[in-house]
Amino acid sequence: MPSTVIADHDVTAAFPRRPRPGIVMGLRLPQVGLLAAAGLLLIMAMFTGAFPGPGRGLAFGVAAVLVLLATSTVEGRPGYAWLAARTSHLARGLRGNAAVTRPIKAGTLRPPTTVKRIAGLLPGRAAAITVHEMDGVGYLYHPHTGTLTAIIEVTSPEFLLRDPADRNARVAGWGRVLAAATRTGAVRQVQLLERSIPDDGTALAAYTDTHLTRDLQQLELADVYTDLVGHLRGGADRHQAFLAITVDRAAAASRIKAAGGRIGGLVAAWRQEYALLARLLPSAGLDVIDELSPARIAEVVRTGYDPAAVLTLPAGITLDLATAGPVAGREEWDHLRTDGAFHAVLWVAEWPNAHVPADVLWPVIFPPGVQRTLSLFYKPYTRTQSETAIRAKHSEILQSSWLKDKLGRVETLADSKELDDVMSRESELLAGHGEVGLLGMITVTAPTLDDLEAAVTSVHAAATQASLDLRRVYGQQLQAFTVAALPLGIPVVT
């Protein structure tokens, strides 16, 4: 979790380096296995005579390939992981799983008492998600992860126009919201999604007609403003923000049993957690607009796959979740096409290393001429989970440092920074602060493939201005899009 420092001019945050998973010297278990296999193969070829004649050269070649897969990096991931992703993507393409098509008939399940179950219709693993309606609110149940999610539409007006003191208070308030999420361990994830969708200017014109002054002394100024709003029609973007709170069935098992079990008990557990968070949201500057009904969830899903649909949806028409998914599409290696839009998903590989102001993300939120969706995933950790993770990471760093010293390798500044981050995490945990994992993902949408590449370039430029290191997702665009572009609360932070 980023640490904050209250300054006279504005709040600043320092993000720790992204943890480098590994068991020794930063190497992951598959890399260690590949290197061990290569070493064993070389020993057998050189000293045991197990590969006579041409077999010895073949053994050397296989060992070299294993070393290359373990040590190389392709498109931001280890060579073995890139090869596995390429193979999986090719296999899915040959089986026809890379194509997105709407089934003719959606399966139905018998609804439990007092809960209405609606069959969702999404591609990929998200097809298993079912939506349960209770008191007009839609609850998404994911059987693969055993989680329940409800979506709240929120707004935080004029954050960038606020004075530094108010910004500081809002940032501190959001920290209290996340700290409350770590209280019981029942909250599996909090997803904050902010997106821009096309707008024909109707909402802006209606707001202008309602609030514009009719004072005779300012009538000329009002006419000029009305003309300006008329020129903006058709070229404006509308921003929406959603908060998806996900509770874990296993962590809330006792409360689910006390509430009667099944989905009804899980919904009751979610309401208990949300009751506390809702009281803290105003202190973070977040105003709750509404808890999304199944019809509103269907609208969010439909406009996520095809943002232009928001301009063609007839007024007063209620969407059905069974038809909210994409009509057709195809997953490519580096992008996804659904209906009339092209999408590309990027993820934040590194957050700023230096202290940055509270509005560090504004270049990414407002890139000129780009339709995008920003998702921030927060994973609350209990104190026990944090202590275990800190001890394991501390031991790994010390073991790697000892091994590097034995091999004569010089430690870098990145190594010392990683150790400082672990010590800082431990000191903050002892001071009573909860830990929260953070993952950021950005989905870029455009009407054509050329426009998509131009928009991705613009987002990369905006990320550079915000001191973010963005990486493109390869080989998993469909899965990444479902997670990042839709507020479905699918857990992604381990």
What is the full DSSP assignment across 314-325?
Answer: PTTPPP-GGG-S
First to last CA, the chain: 14
Burial track 457-491 (b if 16+ CB lie within 10 A, e otherwise)? ebbbebbeebebbbebbbbbbbbbbbbbbbbbbbb
DSSP state of 105: S
> Which residue matches tokens 């009407």?
447
H-helix or E-strand containing 58? helix 54-71
- Give yes or no for a contact between 125 and 223, defined as CB atoms under 8 angstroms apart: no
**Averaging pLDDT over each range in 157-161, 318-322, 463-467, which range is the top one?**
463-467
Q: How many CB atoms lie within 10 A of CB 152?
A: 21
The residue type found at 218 is Q
pLDDT tens string 356-369 = 787 788 889 888 88
pLDDT tens string 114-156 = 444 444 457 777 778 888 888 889 999 998 888 999 999 998 8
pLDDT tens string 390-448 = 888 888 778 777 777 777 777 777 777 778 778 888 887 887 777 888 899 999 999 99
Q: What span, in angstroms and rounded, lies between the C-alpha atoms of 147 and 273?
A: 14
Q: What span, in angstroms and rounded, lies between the C-alpha atoms of 344 and 449?
A: 10
Residue-averaged pLDDT of the chain: 81
Q: What is the pLDDT of residue 421?
A: 79
pTM: 0.82
Instruction: Show me where the domains of the chain are located.
Output: 3-200+235-484
